Amino acid sequence: MIRSKFCKIALAILCLSASSYSVQGQTKKDFHDWAATPPMGWNSWDCFGPTVTEAEVKANADYMSKYLKPYGWDYIVVDIRWYVGNDKAHGYNEKDPDYVLDQYGRFMPAINRFPSAAGGKGFKPLADYLHKKGLKFGIHIMRGIPVIAVKQNLPIKGTNLTAKDIYSDKDQCKWLRDMYTVVPGKPGAQEYYNSLFELYASWGLDFVKIDDLSSPIYFEGEIDMIRKAIDRTGRKIVLSTSPGETPIAHADHVQKNANMWRTVGDFWDSWQQLKEHFEVFERWNKWRAYGAYPDGDMLPLGRIGIRAERGDPRMTAFTKDEQYTLMTLWSIFKSPLMFGGNLPDNDPFTLSLLTNKNVLKVLNESTNNKPLFTDKDKAAWMADEPKTGAKYLAVFNTADQKLVSEEKAVWNSRLLSRTSQSTKLDIDISNAKKLYLVVNDSGDNTDWDHANWIEPTLYKGKDSIKLTSLKWRKATSGWQKPKLNQSVSGNSLITNKIKYENGIGTHSNSIIEFDLPEGYTRFKAIVGLDEACISQNVGATVKFFVFTQDPSGPPPPLTSKIPVNLKDMGLSDSYLITDLWSGKVVGQFSGEFAPEINSHGAGLYKIVKVSK
């Protein structure tokens, strides 16, 4: 009798254990169940940087509830530094930040920005507001323990230890110095993270994005403590690690401990950055698992840059075709979708991108997602529709105009970086009719570096004229227009810690075109990195060029056919193909399918076998 009961219990435990693994056999079904499909939501970063207010969060939540929730969008995430009362756009206030924290060294919402947090309520009233609308609430935090908590030697809740007992200043975040490392294994370290997530769970938190956790250093020990602390609360809090690229050597660990992790650094409305994702996603594709998603970062769509780190207020710089490429690639790869624009400012086209049921079905239900090919000018991905046996096909026209042919330059700076931040130029421009000032990212795909043309001057014998006194014919400069006599962010021109009054501030990559007045024979300037990019955790490598003729190559065709051999997809019969973006049937095909795709555009198709 006892033995029989024991066997039944053992069998039940064995069955329970077996059922705790996903069908893919890659990861346990525990916290991964909390993100059975890629999370979809809104994040405040691309709009408001570290300055979002409660009213702005609620306005986006109201829009999501009304227009997007029926399509599966449900997360509202308050991004960085919600605990600082006097932060700023285009960077962070690290001079005199007005921190808000409790007696246990835990940051609390700044009441001037989040009035409902008054009286120690924290984010609970805001979370309640979202939950009543059927939405979920998320926040961004930085890895570690606040520097101010260490300086004040605040106690760790539930222990007789203090912040000084668990911290280290080693490996402190270089781009935001709010926090110190929490040392794994030190008495009180786990208890500190436990106290954080006890607080967050009491607020009703559903999602946490933790920064400075995965790149350039992957803090495995802190991730383990965070995982334990979340699980200990009993609340389903989805974990997103940031920034990227997460070191792929740690792919197995992050897959087993997080629901999503970044595959790139901050992604903005740059075609060059978007195109980079084809190779990045191919590299990370095998690491996707049930409830665990490589994350291509937020969708910089709609109206962004309102008070952001990058750029001025704008509708996304992506063309409509590039926006189709973004949504198609993220969906066929099954990346989480976190919208970056201010939702109330959406136009009908932007809303249509977010509410296409056919496309979102690919995101949420497709399986066996993989690339067919990734070439210089084109790419294709495929996936299965598991319920019907149909196939999905995404095709992309990635052909580019060569914006800068370096060999045509009359001068270049060579590589400038943190170790060699500036140089002088003095060149002969006799008989030139045009002057093109060009900065590129030197190939590191970080095209938001701030660069300065200092005291650019034209000479004709003893006469001279400041180039800044002339009106340029046209200019491109990342997410902002070049600025006269100030950096591209609107601050003073500072290079090598020297402040200059005259010059042009711009981004990499940029091209500024001038018509030259007659008779000028020399051009002189100082070129260098602006102070604003030196402290970034990535980039800060650029090249400057001067051209006297158009530096760009010929543009690609407006459209191109992207041929796909259906046999490469395992398809050898006749098939009916439907365009999922438009919902229209394209036709019946066998052997090859070669849709005409706009430059920088994409197509997404469903392929169904024709019954005989």
> Residues 327-366: pLDDT tens digits?
999 999 999 999 999 999 999 999 999 999 999 999 999 9
> With 60 as the cut, is the pLDDT of residue 26 above it?
no
Instruction: Express each pLDDT in 556-574 by its tens digit.
Output: 999 999 999 999 999 999 9
Task: Give pLDDT, residue 537.
Answer: 64
Q: Which of 73, 122, 74, 604 is nearest to 380 (CA)?
A: 604
Do 182 and 215 touch, CB atoms closer than 8 A? no
* 3-class DSSP state of 245: coil
Instruction: Express each pLDDT in 430-446 by its tens digit.
Output: 999 999 999 988 877 77
Over residues 264-290, mean pLDDT: 95
Phi and psi, residue 225, nearest 5°? -65, -40
Instruction: Express each pLDDT in 326-336 by its tens digit.
Output: 999 999 999 99
Higher local confidence (pLDDT), 445 or 502:
502
Task: Give pLDDT, residue 15.
Answer: 40
Phi and psi, residue 536, nearest 5°? -65, 155
Q: Which of 563, 600, 554, 561 is nearest to 399 (CA)?
A: 600
Domains detected in the chain: 31-141+181-365 (3.20.20.70), 367-400+556-611 (2.60.40.1180), 408-547 (no CATH)
Task: Give pLDDT, residue 139.
Answer: 98
User: What's the chain's average pLDDT?
Assistant: 93
Q: Of 25-29, 277-281, 364-368, 571-575, where does mean pLDDT reach its minimum?
A: 25-29
Instruction: Express each pLDDT in 214-233 by its tens digit.
Output: 999 999 999 999 999 999 99
What tokens were used for 366?
């497709």
Record the pTM: 0.88
Strands of 204-339 (E only): list them: 207-211, 238-241, 260-262, 293-295, 303-304, 314-315, 337-339
Percent of the chain with pLDDT over 90: 84
Angle formed at CA 441 by CA 437 and CA 443, multiple of 5 degrees: 130
Do 157 and 226 touch, CB atoms closer than 8 A? no
Over residues 406-410, mean pLDDT: 93
State the pLDDT confidence band at 498, using cuts at 50, 70 and 90: very high
Task: Give pLDDT, residue 479.
Answer: 67
Q: Of 221-230, 251-260, 351-360, 493-502, where does mean pLDDT reach its minimum?
A: 493-502
State the pLDDT confidence band at 13, using cuts at 50, 70 and 90: very low
Task: Give pLDDT, residue 29.
Answer: 52
What tokens were used for 215?
């790149």
> With 90 as the cut, is the pLDDT of residue 14 above it?
no
Alpha-carbon dihedral of residues 158, 160, 163, 165, nearest 10 degrees? Answer: -130
Q: How far is CA 217 from the centre of its chain?
A: 18
Identify residue 585 by its one-letter amino acid code.
V
* 3-class DSSP state of 536: coil
Instruction: Express each pLDDT in 121-147 by its tens digit.
Output: 999 999 999 999 999 999 999 999 999
Sign of CA dihedral 454, 459, 465, 469: negative
Instruction: Express each pLDDT in 373-391 by its tens digit.
Output: 999 999 999 999 999 999 9
Identify residue 523 by its one-letter amino acid code.
F
Per this entry, what is the length of the chain? 612
> With 90 as the cut, is the pLDDT of residue 244 above it?
yes
Do 529 and 487 touch, CB atoms closer than 8 A? no
Q: How far apart are CA 276 and CA 329, in angstroms?
A: 12
Q: Which residues of 123-134 are buried (b: 16+ CB within 10 A; e: fewer)?
A: bbbbbebbeebe
